[in-house]
Amino acid sequence: MSTLSTPRSGTAGADTGAGPGAGAAPARRVGASGRVRAWASRQYWPSFLYLLPAAVCYGLFVLRPLGQTAWISLFEWDGLTVGRWTGLDNYGELLGDSRILAALGHSLVFVVFYAVLPVAIGLALAGLMSRMRVRGLSFFRAVLFVPQILATVVVAVSWRWVYDIDGPLNAALRAVGLGSLTRAWLGDYATALPAVGLVGTWVMFGLCMVLFLAGVQKIPTELYESARLDGCGPVREFFTVTLPALRGEIAIALVLTVTYALRNFDLVWNTTAGGPGESTSVPSVFIYQGAFLTREVGAASALSVCLTVLVLAVTAVIMRLVRGKEG
């Protein structure tokens, strides 16, 4: 054993006193096992203990129900009797159902109203705020954020009254001499979908506005002063200073708004219930109807899994695009 550790013992003994660095121990390279031991050392355990309650709750109330939903989607089941194994047949039927594809198209329309328009309006207002001082900005933020703290049922009932045939919107049109434009906005096939979409714009643009205003406040004023000294106008200043600095806030706003648009249920159900006909139907409406009305629990679970995968995929694409631009 000594021969393997010191092949030239005489030389090693002779070199002991030679040179100032001869007695110093050689530097150790920390291998994978060393990193694992360091990672699992006692100093990291308090951090894991803090995360443990959240991880347990996430596993019990998110991952476990999601796994059960994926399992139920493989059966033909009415929620009461014994289910019949169908494998992936429920998913195949979804891909061939024109009603589901039309509902998905409605969700994509809602993405425009719930995500694109609120982000655009929020960015425009943030750009204006970056060039002028506004008194009472905190109050302004609070007023714009009110739709976010209201219950969706309250928002839906209020806007259903506004859109009513005898509601304030039609009354205002009659007052300005545009009575020919009055209609039952939520009962017309041509206007029901954009009418519900505009409600989503009203709800979501306040959230985007608050996020972007918070982002504008952290931009150094020196950047704006330099841009103005270089002769940048309002538009060029927005695209060269404000917009790049708000990339993180834009990503958060898009993730929140797009996710809400794709999984939207309560606002649609409490305004039109997917009608008239199926002109405002979305996948979540079919999930509710299949699970609780027609008792097609297996098909509803399959649609839920597909919707979850779609939301996760869209979120991943948004985050990937943002990280790619940052890199």
Domain positions in the chain are: 89-310
Using the predicted structure, report yes or no on whether residue 2 has a pLDDT greater than 60: no
- pLDDT range class, residue 187, cuts 50, 70, 90: very high
Query: What is the pLDDT at residue 140?
Result: 76
Using the predicted structure, report yes or no on whether residue 320 has a pLDDT greater than 90: no
Query: What is the pLDDT at residue 16?
Result: 43
Alpha carbon distance 213, 145 (integer Å): 12
Using the predicted structure, report yes or no on whether residue 243 has a pLDDT greater than 80: yes
Mean pLDDT, residues 15-43 taken together: 51
Query: What is the pLDDT at residue 268?
Result: 94
Contact 300, 228 (CB under 8 A): no
- pLDDT range class, residue 134, cuts 50, 70, 90: low
Q: For 113-141, b where at least 16 C-beta lie within 10 A, e where not — what string?
A: bbbebbbebbbebbbebbeeeeeeeeebe
- pLDDT range class, residue 101, cuts 50, 70, 90: very high
- What amino acid is encoded at 199 in this protein? V
- List phi, psi (to 5°) of 97: -90, 115
Mean pLDDT, residues 50-60 taken together: 91
Using the predicted structure, report yes or no on whether residue 175 has a pLDDT greater than 60: yes
Query: What is the pLDDT at residue 10?
Result: 42
Query: What is the pLDDT at residue 9?
Result: 40
Contact 185, 191 (CB under 8 A): yes
Query: What is the pLDDT at residue 327?
Result: 54
The alpha carbon dihedral of 166, 171, 173, 176 has a sign of positive
- What amino acid is encoded at 253 in this protein? A
Mean pLDDT, residues 63-76 taken together: 94
Query: What is the pLDDT at residue 17?
Result: 43
> Which homologous superfamily is 89-310 in?
MetI-like (1.10.3720.10)
Query: What is the pLDDT at residue 216?
Result: 86
Mean pLDDT, residues 307-319 taken together: 91
**3-state SS class at 8:** coil
Bridge partners of residue 84, in order along the sequence: 76
Contact 77, 227 (CB under 8 A): no
**3-state SS class at 75:** strand
| Summary mean pLDDT of the chain | 84
Alpha carbon distance 241, 252 (integer Å): 19
Query: What is the pLDDT at residue 32?
Result: 54
| Position with higher pLDDT, 38 vs 314 | 314
- What amino acid is encoded at 214 in this protein? A
Query: What is the pLDDT at residue 43?
Result: 64
Query: What is the pLDDT at residue 23?
Result: 46
Alpha carbon distance 107, 315 (integer Å): 15
Mean pLDDT, residues 154-158 taken together: 93
Query: What is the pLDDT at residue 255?
Result: 93
Mean pLDDT, residues 282-303 taken together: 93
- pLDDT range class, residue 222, cuts 50, 70, 90: confident
Contact 295, 208 (CB under 8 A): no
Using the predicted structure, report yes or no on whether residue 232 has a pLDDT greater than 60: yes
Alpha carbon distance 193, 39 (integer Å): 53
Angle between helices 247-262 and 117-129 (to 10 degrees): 150
Q: Which of 69-73, 75-79, 133-137, 288-292 has the lowest mean pLDDT?
A: 133-137
